Amino acid sequence: MKCEILYPGAFPMVRVYLNEAETVKAESGAMVAASPTIDIESKMEGGFLGALSRKMLSGEKFFFQTLRASRGAGEVLLAPTVPGEIVLLDLDGVNEYMVQKDGFLAGAEGVKIESKMQSFTRGLLGGEGFFILKIGGSGQLILNSFGAIHKIELKPNEEYIVDNSHLVAWTSTTTYNIEKASSGWIASLTSGEGLVCRFRGPGVVYIQSRNPGSFGNWIRQFIPVSE
């Protein structure tokens, strides 16, 4: 499997080359186009209960689609729903990424996806919900974001503060705590930041340059209210 990002920027697409018998799993609905040698299967990753829990708990799609090059090598074009950049990550079997629920676009066959319950405070206040995706295994992982994607590299014990709604993914060696943006509650709320995540390295944090929730609120004012 080989990946290439087309039209990098706000409206990218991923071209995935598959050798014969290779597969790629993608978010349901992500396929844009494919060679005629590719078959599309719907597969519930982790079995029915696993898929159900992922659907119910993390809000991810119930089914992933599996694209299999069953009749010879071919290519698949994949695109996310929201405008925003795509990033390719290599998983080597030890590395694990925590991914917020809308961040997963596609992954190689060896990539393992599970829903993970967060600690109570993180789930309640972190902005990603109580369940996030824990993605490990080996092979290429394709994540998408809303807006541009930015990588923050943290050395051991180095800290960085991220507005929780801008989070896309972070490595499992990175820990974080939720805290107020300012020292006081009033200042935290009026500054518009509210709660932030303080990440501590080592590891990598991917953030998106736009906040989907704020964008939704902004666009709502232009939607006519029906009676």
Site string for other proteins, 58-97 (x = CB under 8 A): ----------------------------------xxxx--
* Residue 155 in contact with other proteins, rule: CB under 8 A: yes
Q: Which stretch binds other proteins (CB under 8 A): 11-19, 41-49, 106-114, 171-179?
A: 171-179
- Give the closest residue to 141 by CA, choosing from 97, 80, 174, 171: 97
Q: Which stretch binds other proteins (CB under 8 A): 16-24, 54-62, 66-74, 166-174?
A: 166-174
Q: For the chain, report the end-to-end CA distance as a whole number of angstroms.
A: 51
- Min CB(23)–other proteins separation in Å: 22
* Residue 98 in contact with other proteins, rule: CB under 8 A: yes
- Min CB(92)–other proteins separation in Å: 5
From 64, 203, 207, 208, residue interacting with other proteins (rule: CB under 8 A) = 203
Token readout for 130 is 């109580």
Please give the full DSSP string across 63-126, using - where no structure is assigned: -EEEEE-TTS-EEEEE--SSSB-EEEEEEESS--EEE-TT-EEEEETTEEEEEEEPPHHHHHHS
Task: Give the contacts of 69 (CB within 8 A, at least 6 positions apart).
Answer: 18, 19, 20, 21, 22, 23, 35, 37, 38
Find the DSSP H helices in the chain. 47-53, 120-125, 185-190, 212-220
Longest CA span, the chain: 62
Site string for other proteins, 107-126 (x = CB under 8 A): ------------xxx-----
Q: Which stretch binds other proteins (CB under 8 A): 4-12, 58-66, 140-148, 201-209?
A: 201-209
- Min CB(19)–other proteins separation in Å: 20
Other CB atoms closer than 10 Å to residue 56's CB: what's the count? 12
Q: Which stretch binds other proteins (CB under 8 A): 9-17, 42-50, 63-71, 197-205?
A: 197-205
Which residue, 83 or 129, is less far from other proteins as judged by CB?
A: 129
From 26, 107, 176, 197, residue interacting with other proteins (rule: CB under 8 A) = 176
Give me the residue label for tokens 């369940």. Answer: 131
Bridging pattern class, strands 131-144 and 111-117: antiparallel
Which residues of the chain form contacts with other proteins (CB under 8 A)?
Answer: 92-95, 98, 119-121, 153-156, 170-176, 201-204
